[in-house]
Amino acid sequence: DATVEDLKRDRTATMKAEAPNANAIPGAVDTLAQAIRENLALSASVLKELQAQAFKPSSNSLPALRDYNDGLQLLRQGHNLEAQKRFEASTKEDSGFALAYAKLAQTYANLGGDSEAERYSRKAVDLSEKLPAQEKYRIAASHARIMKDYPKAIESYENLAKVAPGDTDVQSTLARLYEETGAFDRARDLYAKVLTSDPKSVDALLAMGRVEIEKDNPSGGLDYLNRALSLAIELDNQEEKAAILQAIGVAYGVMNKPEDALRNYRQSLEIKRRIGKKRGMAESLHAIAQLEDGLGRSQVALKDYTEALQLEREIGDSKGTGDTLIDFGNSYNDHGQYDRALSLLQEALQIERDAGNESQVGLCLNSIGNTYFSKGDFVDARTYFEQALTIREKLKVPGDTADALHNLAETASNVGEYDQALKYYLRALDLRRSSGDKRRAAIESYSVGTLFENQGRYGAAVTSKEEALETFRELGERSFWMAEILSGYGHALAEAGRGEEAQNKNDAMVSQVLNFQGDSFFWRGHLTAARRLYDRALEAASRSKDRSKALLSKVNLAKAAVKEGRSREAVSLLRGLGQEADTQGLRYLSLECSTYLAEALVNTRDYPHARQELDRALGKAEKPGLRALLAKDQYLLGTTLRLSGNASDAPGHYREALRLLDDIRKEPGADKAVQRADLSPVYTECARWSRGATP
């Protein structure tokens, strides 16, 4: 029973509805709800709106409804494995419960069981024929999503959102559809509404993190993800914790921190193996394989790709299978195994076409084109690039469209069609600029410059490559492309008859190479050879007038001086060099100066100043996770304490240094890192003193 009070008219109405048995309870609740609505002092139009929004699942089985509601709560919390069990129980209690089948289908889809998801979704549609309009419409909308009919699914959920604007389940689903189709701004707006309704929604925080990463704002994404992770740990939600760690790994990957990304992916994988979430396992293995491949560990990557593909085929995850096949194929292409690459990519293309996922079809066509391009088959490469361009222009995704245009330009240039190539390059350049992608716009400018060189337009070539170089310097770029653009600019100057200027640009690159070679000798303990190379690097950098390269060479010479026993000489040098590194904004170099300055101070027994320098260095190196520098700093701090009369405080710092060094050598392919001449003595001494040993 229920009581409605009309405070304005000072009137009270009591309503009652009785159920003769448990199965009649849902009907009695409906009767009571209708009676309450009729007694509300509202207009007919508002009552009609309430009637439309008063949605309940159609089942007369109380146990089925109970399991359904439990499953719904678990689904909202990201507990897909447990939700699946509840929805299965609900359908057993009431074999005609259409909405329970629809939710069961969605749970299977979330877990990667595409064939099971489609089967249960069709069952829900079949059972929905005689249901109320709104319930039938919800099932149809869910079916469109399961079948990856994105336009229909989006239209359906947009209509549901208008009818039920306060339904966060509808908002979340619509936001995910926007996210999956690349409409990230619209997705973010809806996820924000869900968070306003429930600020502690782990799933919504995770989703916001994903969208920020997709919007090329990984640091903003990490803010949401760290909040989500804290809540997931507090709630002991292992499934969500694994998903969040996976997303954190993606963020670190975008931020070019591969080791941090790998650490989070592996933690995610460990949880997924423990709880038996196979789709999640495949997702983590796929991500790990991509990173391992990029780090040059191709055999490890091959193993992970193979296991991911096996899991996805086992559970019938067509989307995951297609995605893995594309990246696996690209990996084979990168390693020159073109026939294997084409076999995997053609299989992926069929899967993506069957799924109707045009974005992935475009990606696959582009990858096949790249493989033919690598083989030197420019005719077939052009065919696939043109197909990719057609799809990407239709989808109106500027970055993807520009990629296809760039590839067509490269193909045309290779067959000598320079005028056509230039048209493609300039269209790609316009798209990069209009979307604010400065880095890729610079690469397009560089490519245009190379084309101008081939045409003998040397002045235009210099201008284009100079523009690219200025942009990369502005962005602080230090990748392969910076070396390519720097050397290419020098080449363009030489071709334009400006040989002296070209030599200056090439000297900067020579300096960098000499420093790298010097590092190789330094880490092997060959200090004389390292110092000679650092001297030559400084000479080349001085000729080029590149301040950052000159500073790096000077720091390397100071490091060598410390290791050669010339610490007193190095102290004043390193202080000045550290300040200059700060002025130039070279943070890592500044911290490296602090570490070697502290070592020089310890060697000269100036323990108070060494302690002061180490406290400063540790504070600055900890946040970015610079493990090698942190290990050295902890070792030096332990040594400073031990030699200055505070031996009891030293072991903890030695143990922390050992932990950091062990973390470094546990990384696949880095097991010999602590054998470096600068790290091996640190490891040995830390092992000796970590337990408070006496001489």
Q: Which residue stretches of the chain have pLDDT < 70?
A: 1-55, 478-480, 494-496, 498-510, 623-625, 667-670, 692-695
pTM for this predicted structure: 0.62
pLDDT at 500: 58
d(CA 81, CA 582): 51
Q: What is the pLDDT of residue 14?
A: 62
Are 635 and 685 in contact, with CB atoms under 8 Å apart? yes
DSSP 397-461: -HHHHHHHHHHHHHHHHHTT-HHHHHHHHHHHHHHHHHTT-HHHHHHHHHHHHHHHHHTT-HHHH
Burial readout 87-110 (b: 16 or more C-beta within 10 A, e: otherwise): bbbbbebbeebbbbbbbbbbbbbb
**10 secondary structure, DSSP code:** T
Cβ 71 vs Cβ 90: under 8 Å? yes
Within 8 A by CB and 6+ apart from 211, the residues are 179, 184, 187, 188, 191, 221
Do the domains at 57-148 and 565-689 have one common CATH topology? yes
- C-alpha distances (whole Å) from 414 to each of 407, 420, 425, 454 are 11, 11, 13, 11
Q: In this structure, are residues 679 and 636 in contact, taking their beta carbons and an 8 Å threshold?
A: no
Tell me whether residue 417 is exposed, middle or buried, using C-beta atoms within 10 angstroms of its C-beta: 0 to 12, 13 to 18, 19 or more.
middle
Task: Give the start-to-end residue ranges of the domains of the chain.
Answer: 2-53, 57-148, 565-689
Q: Which fold has domain 565-689?
A: 1.25.40
For 420, the token pair is: 């056509």
Per the CB < 8 A criterion, the answer to whether 305 and 332 are in contact is no
* pLDDT tens-digit map of 188-231: 999 999 999 999 999 999 999 999 999 889 999 999 999 999 99
If DSSP codes are grouped into helix, strand and coil, which group holds residue 11?
strand
DSSP 607-622: HHHHHHHHHHHHHHHH
What is the structure's pLDDT at 218? 92
Nearest one of 524, 471, 499, 555 to 673, comparing CA atoms: 524
Write down the architecture of domain 57-148 according to CATH.
Answer: Alpha Horseshoe (1.25)
- Residue-level pLDDT at 695: 44
